Structure 1
Amino acid sequence: MSADPEEPGTPITRTNGRHSFTTLSTSDVYVGNILALRADEVAMPGGGRSRREVVEHSGAVAVVALDEHERVVLVHQYRYPLDRRLWELPAGLLDAPGESPLHTAQRELAEEVGLAAEEWSVLVDVAASPGFTDQSERVYLARGLSEVALPEPAADEEADLVVRRFGLDRAVEMVFTGEIVNAPAVSGLLAAQAVSRGRAVPRPPEAEWVDRPVRFPARTDR
C-alpha cells in the first residue's frame, strides 16, 4: 500500500526503523456482524501523512486433529467469496463472549467433526493479510482423539460439510499441488509435519497470542 504524503514530491527522510506511526485520526466506513472497515490517517516518515484502510476482524482458530495413524481431519467446505469448496481444517471465529481461544477450538472440533482431544498445543499464529486487516488465526495441534455427538441440526454451510481423514504427508502434498490453499490449513499442516518429524516443538495451549485482534471484539463487548 503506497503512502500519500501531504506534499507530493517531498523527499522522505529515512528513519531506519525508528519512526512512530501515530494515528492522527480515525473514522468508521462500515461496521458489520463479523468485521468492520475503518479509515485512519497515519503519520509517515518525513512529516507526511497517509490514509490506511483497515479491516477489523474478531480472529479465529483452526485445529490440526491427528489420530493415532497420523491422519489429519479435513473438511470440504463451500466458501462463498471464492465460489468453490475448499479443503480446510476444522475452524471457527472467536465470537463467543468470554470464551478463550482454546475453548473455541475445542468447541469447533466437536461441532464441526464430532471429535474431542486429550492433548492440545499451539502450532502457529497466522496474520492473514497484515497490509489491510488485523485478522489473525491461531492453529492448534490436537491429539488423542475420541468421538463425540455432533450437534443437530447443522447450520448454514456446515450442513453441507464433507469430513475426511488424510495421511499427514498426503495433506502436505495437497498444499504443494494447490489442492489446499486456505492460509491456516497451509501453515498448520506444514507445522504439524515439522512437529511430527521432530524438527519443531509446539507451544503450550495457553501460550501468549501477541496479535490476537482486539478492536472489533471491543465494539460488540465480546
Structure 2
Amino acid sequence: MAIKDTPEEWQVTATAVPFTGNKTSVRTDDVVMPDGSVVRRDYQVHPGSVAVLALDDEDRVLLIRQYRHPVRHRLWEIPAGLLDVPGENPLSAAQRELYEEAHVKAEDWRVLADIYPTPGGCDEAVRIFFARGLSAAEGERFLVEEEEADMEHARVPLPELVRGVLAGELHNTCLVTGVLALTAALAGDGIDALRPAGTPWPARPFDA
C-alpha cells in the first residue's frame, strides 16, 4: 500500500454555521460513520494560508517574532499570511507576505511542503514555500498595525533553528515544518529537486 494521503468525503446529513467571524467561521456537520451511526463534528472553516522559509546568502533563515494571543506566547515564525482572495495564486500571496512582513523580495521560489496544521478541528491548508536570492524590496515599507506593529526580525542559521525545534524552544507549525523539511531536502536530493512554485495544490485550487 502506498503511503499517501487520499481525498475522501463521508456523507453529511446536516450542517450549520453557528459562528461567523472576520476571517474564519465554525461549522457543525452531522457525519455518517462506517457503522451507520451519525456523529456531530465541529470545526473551523479557514481560507488557507501561505508561509515562506526564506534563506539568505549566508544560509540564515529570515524570522519574525510576534505575540499570538490564543497561546499567550510571543513566537518566532517565518513570514506567513492568509489566502484572503478566493482562487488567489499562492505564490503571489507568499511574495506579498514576504514584502509586507520583512520588506524583502526573492528571485528563486520552490514549494517546500503542503500541510494541514490541525486537521482534527480546522480545514486550514498551508503551502510553505522556500525562497532564496533575497534582496531588499523597493519602495516604502508596508504599514503594519495591531500585533504586527510590535514585530521583531532576525536572521538565524538553519542548524540553530533545528536545535531549537528539537529542544522544544520553537513551536510555530510553519517554522518547525519548514526548518525540518529544508534540512531533509539539503540532506537528500537538494533544493533543485523541490517542486516548482506553481505546482497545483488540490487543497486550495488557484488561478495560474
Does TM, normalized by the shorter one, top 0.5?
A: yes
In structure 2, C-alpha distance between the alignment counterparts of 1:54 and 1:152, rounded to whole Å: 33
In structure 2, C-alpha distance between the alignment counterparts of 1:121 and 1:150, rounded to whole Å: 27
Q: Which runs of 5+ in 1 are unaligned?
A: 1-18, 215-222
Residue 197 of structure 1 pairs with residue 193 of structure 2: no
Q: Contact (CA 8 Å) 1:112, 1:150: kept in 2 or not?
A: no
Residue 121 of structure 1 pairs with residue 141 of structure 2: no
Q: Contact (CA 8 Å) 1:58, 1:213: kept in 2 or not?
A: no
CA RMSD between the two structures: 1.9
Match of 1:27 among 13, 16, 20: 16
Question: Secondary structure of 1:53's match?
Answer: strand
In structure 1, C-alpha distance between the alignment counterparts of 2:86 and 2:121, rounded to whole Å: 25
Residue 132 of structure 1 pairs with residue 121 of structure 2: yes
1:182–1:69: structure 2 CA closer, same or farther, 3 Å change rule? same
User: Which consecutive segments of 4 or more residues in structure 1 shift more than 6 A?
Assistant: none
1:119–1:213: structure 2 CA closer, same or farther, 3 Å change rule? closer
Within-5 A mapping of 1:56-205: 56-96=45-85, 99-148=88-137, 149-199=139-189, 201-205=193-197
1:20–1:66: structure 2 CA closer, same or farther, 3 Å change rule? closer
Q: Which runs of 5+ in 2 are unaligned?
A: 1-7
Within-5 A mapping of 1:48-59: 48-59=37-48
Match of 1:3 in 2: none
Query: Which residue identity does 1:60 align to in structure 2?
Result: S
Q: How many residues align?
A: 196
Relative to the length of structure 1, the TM-score reads 0.83
1:204–1:152: structure 2 CA closer, same or farther, 3 Å change rule? closer
1:95–1:86: structure 2 CA closer, same or farther, 3 Å change rule? same
In structure 2, C-alpha distance between the alignment counterparts of 1:66 and 1:20, rounded to whole Å: 38
Deviates more, 1:174-183 or 1:137-146: 174-183
